[in-house]
Structure formats: structure tokens, C-alpha cells
Amino acid sequence: MGITNTQHLERIVDYLKEKRGEDVSLADVVALAEITAESLQTFFETMDTALYRELRDIAGYIADMKVEIGALQANELKNSRIPAAGQELGAIVQATEKATNTIMECAEELMAADASDAAAYKALVDEKMLIIFEACSFQDITGQRIAKVVETLQHIEARVSRFATAMRAKDMTGYFTEQEKARAARREKLLLNGPQLEGEAIGQNDVDSLLSQDNDSAQSDIDRLFS
């Protein structure tokens, strides 16, 4: 195609050389226009083929992306699964709080009870123990609720993982919102690590050991943490 373009340009140059110094007629202008049009035609044909190939690739990518976005089931997650998981977690908090209150009320009543009448005290203990056993049944229901939440998390994980792989997604650095950034900064500044899993947390004996060390030792521990 490049050769063809060069040939057209050479024709224009030759034509202009040939006509130099002469008056330019309408026929000359038309002839020049024809050569230029032929030249542009070739250029557009070349461009069309490359452009078509690019656009076809982009269309294919968009079609794949639409399939992957559909497979993500984002609307179902947003409108159904995530709110349902939130409700399950809310119910777990309520159930554990209610059970804890019931158990603590029983314990407080027993602590405050008059034990001088042994028979009456025994009857009270039996009654409160029965209530405590009943309250402990929350564990079975919360266990089932937690299983549902875990299932939702696995469902989301599978879809997000497939989407990220298909899109060859690279993680954005930084934070999604200013609020998220502020929360992360607060957590870091105030050492809000939250409860640790077994194996990650230190026990009371380790805490006691750290507290009993002199200040120089504590500083070396800090230095080690930041090194």
C-alpha cells in the first residue's frame, strides 16, 4: 500500500513539474484533483482494514466483558445475597446478646439469692439452670446462620475471582473513598488490629512477660517490629 501511495505522489509531482510556468487551466485542476482522490482512496482503504481489525478486537473484548459482568451477578449480590447475609449477621448478634443477657440474669439472681433456706435455694438453682440450658440453644441456630453467611462469601469469592481472572484485573492502589482512607488511617494510628486468630495473638503470659521487661527491652521490641 505504501508503494501505491508513493506512486500517486510521484504522479502529482511529475504533473506539477510538467505544468510549472504554464497557466493552470480548469482541466489541470480537475486532473490534479483526480490524482489526489485516487491517492486518498488508497490511504482510506489501508486505514479501513487496520481500523476494522482493531474495532473487531475491541468488539470481541466488550462482548467477553459483558459475559463476565453477567456472570458476576452483581445485581443479585447487591440486591439479594449481601443484604441477606447482613440480616443473618444482625440476627446472630441479637441472638447471642439475648442469650448472654438471659444467662447473666440467671447468674445474677443466683448470686443475690438467700441460701439460708436450702430447699428454696435448690429449687431456684434448678429453675435458673433450666433457663440457662434453654438459652444455650442459640448456638445451634447461630451456627446455621453463620454457615449461610460463609456460603454467601464463598459465592462472592468465586464470582469475583473469575471476573478478576477474565479481565486480567490489576488492583488499584490507594483507597476507594476518603472515608475508607480515614478509617484505615485511624486503624493504623490507634493500633486497632482487632481480635487475632489463634496462632497470631499473644497470650496473657506473653503480655505479662512484655510488661515486666525494662524500657530498653521494650524499645528493642518496638524497633524489631518496625524493622
Footprint of another protein (CB under 8 A) = 97, 100-101, 104, 107-108, 111, 190-196, 200-204, 206-207, 210-211, 218, 221-222, 225
Residue (12 or 132) nearer to another protein, CB: 132
Shortest distance in whole angstroms from residue 92 CB to another protein: 14
3-class secondary-structure state, position 168: coil
Residue (24 or 129) nearer to another protein, CB: 129
Q: Which amino acid is located at 130 in the chain?
A: L
Q: Which amino acid is located at 175 in the chain?
A: Y
Shortest distance in whole angstroms from residue 90 CB to another protein: 16
Angstrom distance (rounded) from CA 132 to CA 105: 9
How is residue 117 written as a grid cell? 433456706
Residue (137 or 209) nearer to another protein, CB: 209
Helices (H), 73-81: 74-76
Angstrom distance (rounded) from CA 185 to CA 112: 46
Residue (67 or 93) nearer to another protein, CB: 93
How is residue 22 written as a grid cell? 504554464
